[in-house]
Copies of this chain bind each other. A is one copy, B any other.
């Protein structure tokens, strides 16, 4: 005998979507914004005071128990936790927060992202994201065309950031080198019915993509010591040998060093990784010379332009990226120079067909008969399955500002870096590492040893006065200012140097 129908939940917590969702959202968003404002005022600076122990103690006192038996209600929870979050944040919108490639988001991008949270489209199948699927296709092609302006059909995948973009670049190179790695002794394998639940079919020849019986040999990755740590981590993840690392004492990969390394290698199984915007100093590898060498030796080229890529928006700055268009893959990242909330990564390829190695079938998402009937097959657009459309906030930003508007922001932060370098050079107690290439400035008190420099940075953090980064070069340890805030004024830069000076002498 059937059970009675389920009772309605009273009160049912309101949903964000549907025709009534915005009525529920408005008062809750208002509470969230009030909490943010109060938290920022209470913080009163770029980050909280007291260091990790003190911040953790305050959060523990406020947030415990994190899973109570009975809830406190939406209003209280939003108010309490979001105010604590804001009060304890390192806020990149404060000009004294300039350590990392940690961007202050544009208000319009954050507002656009709210719509994504409310509607919750997921890009693993069309029937979870009809409009978002279409918007992503248009927008990724337009962004890929920035990197590959002369190609008829460039494309880009949306990623969680430069790290995932680099990982995908290594994966595509691994597959292009014909097979992942030489596996150990082969054991009998029942073919994997990737598409079937409940054992309905066990097709004899179906195997997971990329599993080939006898790959000719693993891909080898070649990169500079200036490459991002994610290159090494990705090789490990993918079961590839550790990358060969070429020293970069000048901060960039020297073509002579690459030439010598390539001469020792098997053509067609080498991926060279160059960087356009190093994490530590914002330097750009000599892309045309490196691309020539890759061509001559039949090596693939990946350019990690997670930081420098948005110079492409600017007519005056984009010549610094000449050669980028010759790469097999390019990592871009609009949560760095792009003012997006995390995540807003991209991996661009010169031709949409280059993404074929990522093709994947799952019967409940892209069965053959649905694809034949015109439902888009989306699984090759990410290694994730459920996937938030991070493209929406990007699309709103591109439309709102236009290419010239974004270029103006990029040019402004680069000019700010030049000005900070000027101020350091004119300062009697500070030394500059080198003129900035993008928007990173390395400097320190004249003659400061690594211990002193590291201690200055930690004191600035502990007192809540400023967030500066650090970078090691052959000349030792430096303070790093990564300027990403388009609202930063010359006064802010002078103040930053005054803070450093104050923490040096004490």
In the assembled complex, the CB of A206 is this many whole angstroms from the nearest CB of chain B, namely 10
User: A233 contacts B208, CB within 8 Å?
Assistant: yes
CB within 8 A of A192: which of B232, B409, B487? B232
Determine if A446 is an interface residue (Cβ-Cβ < 8 Å): no
Complex Cα–Cα for A84 and B174 (A): 39
The yes or no answer to A239 lying at the interface (CB within 8 A) is: yes
* Assembled-state Cα–Cα distance A192/B333 (Å): 25
CB–CB B243/A225 < 8 A: no
Report the bound CA distance from A197 to B109 in whole Å: 32
- Interface-centre pick from A118, A228, A373, A486 (highest chain B CB count, 10 A): A118
Q: Report whether B86 and A119 are in contact in the complex, using a CB–CB cutoff of 8 Å.
A: yes
Within 8 A of B (CB), among A63-117: 63-74, 76-78, 80-82, 84-94, 99-117
Select the stretch in A210-218, A285-293, A498-506 that faces chain B: A210-218
Interface pair A105/B399, CB less than 8 Å apart: no
The answer for the CA separation of A403 and B392 in the assembled complex, in Å, is 33
Give 20 A-B pairs besides A67-B146, A128-B467 with Cβ atoms closer than 8 angstroms. A6-B412, A14-B107, A15-B105, A52-B374, A67-B399, A67-B402, A82-B115, A84-B135, A90-B127, A100-B128, A103-B120, A113-B117, A167-B383, A183-B239, A186-B241, A189-B241, A197-B251, A198-B248, A198-B250, A237-B237
Contact A78 B108 (CB under 8 A): yes
**Contacting pair B3 A395 (CB below 8 A):** no
Chain B residues positioned under 8 Å from A451 (CB to CB)? 369
Closest to A413 in B: B6
Residues in B with CB closer than 8 Å to A469 are: 127, 364
CB contact between A16 and one of B106, B115, B364 (< 8 Å): that residue: B106
List 11 contacting pairs A-B, 8 Å CB cutoff, sorted by A.
A15-B105, A18-B104, A25-B110, A52-B133, A82-B115, A90-B128, A120-B335, A183-B218, A183-B239, A200-B225, A375-B458
What B residues does A5 contact at CB under 8 A?
Answer: 419, 490
Q: Once the chains are docked, how many angstroms separate the CA of A40 from the CA of B347?
A: 32
A35 at the interface (CB under 8 A from B): yes
Q: Is A422 an interface residue (CB 8 A)?
A: yes
In the A-B complex, the 4 residue pairs with the closest CB atoms: A239-B239, A88-B131, A17-B93, A71-B402
| Shortest beta-carbon distance from A501 to chain B in Å | 19
The yes or no answer to A142 lying at the interface (CB within 8 A) is yes
Instruction: Give the Cβ gap from A395 to chain B, nearest Cβ, in Å.
Output: 6
Decide: A90 and B193 in contact? CB cutoff 8 A.
Answer: no
Taking the complex as formed, is A429 at the interface, i.e. its CB lies under 8 A from any CB of chain B? no
For the complex, give the distance between the alpha carbons of A480 and B86 in Å: 42
> Which residues of the other chain, B, contact A138 by a CB distance below 8 angstroms?
59-60, 63-64, 66
